[in-house]
A and B are shown apart, each in its own frame.
Chain A
Amino acid sequence: MSDALDRVVDRIRDVRGELAPLLEEARLARLARSEVPGADSSAVCAWNHFENIPTFFNWNNRPR
C-alpha cells in the first residue's frame, strides 16, 4: 500500500524540471499582485499573499 500511496508524490518529482518554471512564475505573480496600488485594502494583502487571502477562500476544509 505504501508504494501506491507514494505514487502521486513520485510523479510530481518526475516532472521537477518541467514544474520549476511554473513555480517561479507563480512566485513572481504573487509578488506582482502584492505590488498593486491599494493592495492593503484589497482581497489580497501586500506582505504575505497566500496566508492573507480571505479566509473564506482557504482550500482545505472550507465552505463553498
Chain B
Amino acid sequence: MATVNGMRGVSRVPAYVVMQPTTLCNLDCVYCYLPLRAQDRRMPVEVARAVAADANVWAARDRFSVVWHGGEPLAAGREHLGALMAPFGPAVEQHVQTNATLLDDAWCEFFAARGVRVSVSVDGPEDLNGQRVSRAGRPAYARIVQGIAALRRHGQSFAALCVVGDPRPGVASRLYEYFLELGCDTLGVNIEEREGVNERANAHDPAAVRAFWSELVAAWRADPRIHVRELEWSLRYVGAVLDGTSGDLLPRELDPIPTVGHDGAVVLLSPELAGFHDPVHGDFSSGNVLQAPLSELLVAPRRTSWVPEFLAGVEACRETCPYFGFCGGGHAANRYFEHGRFDGTETEHCRNSKIHLLEGVLDHVRRP
C-alpha cells in the first residue's frame, strides 16, 4: 500500500488563530455547541495585543489569518472589535464568521475599511433554516437575509457556512440553488455534529447521506460558480489518486489552530473544546496568552494532557482507515464528544462528512 504522509505531529507555527471577541451570541441556535453564549464575556484588548505580537511575525514570513469567531463577533460592537483588530498589522488576513443578523451599512463600511473577509452562517432557504432562532425561539431567517442584503448592497464578497441537520436526497439541490442565488463565493457544508452542549444524535442512514452528497455534485456540476469546500477537496483528492500523488496531499504536520478564548486561554486543534471541563483533562487549555507568548505555548503541544492521546488517535486512523489519505484523521472534538476520549477512530462525523462524501462523489460518476 502507498504510504500516506502528512499529519505527523503538530506544527509550532499555525496558519491561523481563532479569536473569541465575546462569548455572547444574540441567537440561540438549536444545534450550537457553545456553552457560554448567553453571557457577554468580552476579550480585553490586552489579549489581542498579546496574540498580535506573534501573529505579526508569522504573517511577515507566510500567509497568516485571524478568524474572529464567537459567540457572535459582531455582538462585541464595532468600537470594541475595532480595538481588538487594531494590533494586527496589514499582513495579517482578518476573517469574521457571523450569523449576519447584526450586519448593516455601518458594519459593511467597517469591514471594507479593514479588508476583513466575511463568512456568514445560514442553513439555506427559510424552511431549512428553522434551527437558527433568537433567544425567544423566533426564526432568525428574515434578519439573516437582511444582513446579507447589506453585504450585497456594498459589493462585499462573502463565503457561507451551512449546517445540514437532515442530509437526504432532495435537500442538496435545493441548497445549492439557494446559495447560487444568495451570491456567495465559497461554501462549506457541515453535517450537524454532536459536540459541546449539542448532544443530539448525528447518526443517519448511510444511503441517504451518500445520495445527499451525490446530488450536491450533480447540482454543482450544472453551474459550478461556487467553490464548495467539500467538493473541491474530494475532486482534488481523486485527481491526486489518479496522478499517483495522493500520498503527499495532506499537510506535513497538523495545524495547531489555537483558539484564544475571551480570557486569553488557548485551546489547540479544536475550538469546540473551549469552555468545557473534563475530570482528567481539566479545561483542555494549553496556557494563557496573558501569562506566556502564544508562540511559547505552541512549542510543546504534547505537554497538554489530551494532545498525546489525540495524536495516538491520528496514528490509529492512519493504520486502520482506508479513507485516511482523504481525511487526515478525525477531528479532536468529534472524537471526544462522540467517544469520550481522543484515541478512538471512526466517528459519525467521519461517516457523514468524509466517508459518505467521497462515496457520494463516486456514486455520482457511476450513475447510469
Contacts and interface: CB of A to CB of B under 8 A. Distances in A.
Given A12-B238, A54-B119, A63-B18, A42 B255 contact: no
Interface in A8-64: 8-9, 11-13, 15-16, 18-19, 22-23, 25-26, 29-30, 32-33, 38, 41-44, 49-50, 53-64
Nearest to A62: B257
Contacts of A15: 362, 365-366
A59 B365 contact: no
Contacts, number: 152
Contacts of A32: 224-225
B176 interface: no
B362 A56 contact: no
Interface of A is mostly: helix
B190 interface: yes
Nearest to A42: B157
Contacts of A25: 221, 224
Q: Which of A25, A44, A54 has the most CB of B within 10 A?
A: A54
Nearest to A29: B224
Contacts of B239: 19, 23
Interface in B156-205: 157-159, 161, 184-186, 188, 190, 193
Interface string B54-72: 0000000001010101000
A4 B319 CA distance: 11
Contacts of B79: none
Given A12-B241, A49-B227, A56-B95, A6 B1 contact: yes
A58 B365 contact: no
Interface in B272-331: 272, 319-329, 331
Interface stretch (B43-51, B229-237, B339-347): B229-237
Nearest to B1: A2
A13 B365 CA distance: 12
B251 A60 contact: yes
Contact of B16 (A6, A16, A43, A56): A56
Contact of B225 (A33, A43, A62): A33
Chain A interface residue number, banded = 35 or more
B95 A8 contact: no
A60 B328 contact: yes
B322 A63 contact: no
Contacts of B251: 60-61
Nearest to B220: A29
Contacts of B157: 38, 41-43
B227 A33 contact: yes
A43 B235 contact: no
B271 interface: yes
A43 B159 contact: yes
B125 to A, nearest CB: 21
A43 B158 contact: yes
Given A25-B224, A54-B95, A62-B257, A8 B16 contact: no
Interface of A: 1-9, 11-13, 15-16, 18-19, 22-23, 25-26, 29-30, 32-33, 38, 41-44, 49-50, 53-64
10 contacts: A7-B322, A12-B362, A22-B221, A44-B185, A55-B95, A56-B65, A56-B67, A57-B227, A60-B328, A64-B272
Q: Which 4 A-B pairs have the closest CB atoms?
A: A29-B224, A18-B365, A43-B185, A59-B233
